[in-house]
Amino acid sequence: MSKEPPKDHIPSQSPPKGNVVTDKTKVNFTPTSNDTSTFQFYPDDPEATLNRFKFYSKGASMYYDPCEESSKMSFKCLELNNYDRSLCHDYFDAYRECKKQWLKARREDNSKWQ
Protein backbone atom coordinates (compact mmCIF):
# COMPACT_ATOMS: atom_id res chain seq x y z
CA MET A 1 0.00 0.00 0.00
CA SER A 2 2.50 2.60 -1.16
CA LYS A 3 1.55 6.22 -1.52
CA GLU A 4 2.03 7.42 -5.10
CA PRO A 5 3.63 10.89 -5.19
CA PRO A 6 2.04 13.54 -7.39
CA LYS A 7 3.45 13.44 -10.92
CA ASP A 8 4.59 17.06 -10.77
CA HIS A 9 6.50 16.41 -7.51
CA ILE A 10 8.77 13.52 -8.57
CA PRO A 11 12.44 14.44 -8.05
CA SER A 12 15.06 13.79 -10.68
CA GLN A 13 16.73 10.38 -10.70
CA SER A 14 20.11 11.72 -9.63
CA PRO A 15 20.59 13.48 -6.31
CA PRO A 16 20.81 17.26 -6.48
CA LYS A 17 24.30 18.62 -6.60
CA GLY A 18 24.92 20.87 -3.63
CA ASN A 19 27.89 22.34 -1.92
CA VAL A 20 28.32 19.76 0.79
CA VAL A 21 31.42 20.46 2.87
CA THR A 22 32.95 17.25 4.13
CA ASP A 23 36.15 18.78 5.50
CA LYS A 24 35.26 19.71 9.07
CA THR A 25 38.15 22.17 9.28
CA LYS A 26 36.33 24.35 6.74
CA VAL A 27 33.02 24.40 8.63
CA ASN A 28 32.43 27.55 10.67
CA PHE A 29 30.61 26.27 13.74
CA THR A 30 30.67 29.69 15.41
CA PRO A 31 29.99 32.52 12.97
CA THR A 32 31.20 36.02 13.80
CA SER A 33 27.72 37.34 14.57
CA ASN A 34 26.73 37.76 18.20
CA ASP A 35 23.44 35.94 17.63
CA THR A 36 23.92 32.60 19.37
CA SER A 37 20.96 31.09 17.53
CA THR A 38 23.12 30.97 14.39
CA PHE A 39 25.78 28.79 16.04
CA GLN A 40 25.92 25.20 14.83
CA PHE A 41 27.33 22.56 17.16
CA TYR A 42 27.12 19.60 14.79
CA PRO A 43 28.54 18.80 11.34
CA ASP A 44 25.24 17.82 9.70
CA ASP A 45 22.88 20.08 7.77
CA PRO A 46 19.51 18.36 8.22
CA GLU A 47 17.72 20.88 5.98
CA ALA A 48 20.03 20.37 2.98
CA THR A 49 18.51 19.54 -0.38
CA LEU A 50 20.46 16.29 -0.50
CA ASN A 51 18.84 15.16 2.77
CA ARG A 52 15.38 16.03 1.44
CA PHE A 53 16.09 14.00 -1.70
CA LYS A 54 17.31 10.99 0.28
CA PHE A 55 14.36 11.19 2.67
CA TYR A 56 11.89 11.43 -0.22
CA SER A 57 13.41 8.57 -2.20
CA LYS A 58 13.74 6.11 0.69
CA GLY A 59 11.35 3.17 0.89
CA ALA A 60 8.20 3.39 3.01
CA SER A 61 9.57 1.06 5.66
CA MET A 62 13.12 2.43 5.53
CA TYR A 63 14.64 4.70 8.17
CA TYR A 64 16.64 7.76 7.17
CA ASP A 65 18.58 9.91 9.61
CA PRO A 66 19.77 13.29 8.29
CA CYS A 67 21.89 13.61 11.44
CA GLU A 68 23.83 10.43 10.75
CA GLU A 69 27.25 12.08 11.10
CA SER A 70 26.38 13.35 14.59
CA SER A 71 25.07 9.92 15.50
CA LYS A 72 28.29 8.24 14.35
CA MET A 73 30.33 10.74 16.35
CA SER A 74 28.33 9.88 19.48
CA PHE A 75 28.92 6.16 19.05
CA LYS A 76 32.60 6.71 18.30
CA CYS A 77 32.94 8.74 21.50
CA LEU A 78 31.31 5.93 23.48
CA GLU A 79 33.65 3.36 21.95
CA LEU A 80 36.74 5.45 22.67
CA ASN A 81 35.72 6.15 26.26
CA ASN A 82 34.74 2.62 27.30
CA TYR A 83 31.03 3.47 27.07
CA ASP A 84 31.18 6.13 29.78
CA ARG A 85 28.18 8.29 28.87
CA SER A 86 29.27 11.18 31.08
CA LEU A 87 32.28 11.82 28.83
CA CYS A 88 30.17 12.00 25.65
CA HIS A 89 27.40 14.30 26.80
CA ASP A 90 28.39 17.06 24.33
CA TYR A 91 28.06 14.63 21.41
CA PHE A 92 24.62 13.56 22.58
CA ASP A 93 23.56 17.21 22.85
CA ALA A 94 24.83 17.92 19.33
CA TYR A 95 22.83 14.99 17.94
CA ARG A 96 19.75 16.11 19.85
CA GLU A 97 20.07 19.67 18.48
CA CYS A 98 20.45 18.35 14.93
CA LYS A 99 17.31 16.24 15.27
CA LYS A 100 15.41 19.22 16.73
CA GLN A 101 16.39 21.37 13.74
CA TRP A 102 15.31 18.64 11.31
CA LEU A 103 11.95 18.05 12.99
CA LYS A 104 11.30 21.79 13.21
CA ALA A 105 12.03 22.18 9.49
CA ARG A 106 9.68 19.28 8.68
CA ARG A 107 6.89 20.76 10.80
CA GLU A 108 7.26 24.23 9.27
CA ASP A 109 7.09 23.10 5.65
CA ASN A 110 6.22 19.43 5.31
CA SER A 111 5.62 19.75 1.55
CA LYS A 112 9.40 19.87 0.96
CA TRP A 113 9.81 16.51 2.68
CA GLN A 114 7.08 14.56 0.86
Beta carbons within 8 Å of 114's beta carbon, 6+ residues apart: 5, 9, 56
List, in order, residues 6 or more apart from 94 with CB less than 8 Å away. Answer: 41, 42, 70, 73, 74
10 pLDDT exceeds 70?
no
What confidence score (pLDDT) does residue 32 get?
64
How many folded domains does the chain comprise?
1
- 74: in domain: yes
Residue 93's domain comprises: 65-114
Considering the domain boundaries, does residue 46 fall inside one? no
Give domain status of residue 71, yes or no. Answer: yes
Give me the amino acid identity at 51. Answer: N
Once rounded to an integer, what is the mean pLDDT over residues 1-22? 46
Percent of the chain with pLDDT over 90: 11
Q: For position 83, what pLDDT does the model report?
A: 93
pTM of the model: 0.58
In this structure, is residue 57 part of a structural domain? no
- CA 98, distance to chain mean position in Å, is 6
Q: Is residue 20 domain-resident?
A: no
Least confident of 35-44, 50-59, 73-82, 100-109: 35-44
Considering only residues 29 and 71, tell me which one the structure prediction assigns the higher pLDDT.
71
- Can you give the pLDDT at residue 94? 87
Render pLDDT for 48-66 as a digit per residue (tens, 0 to 9): 777 777 877 887 778 888 8
Inside any domain, residue 56: no
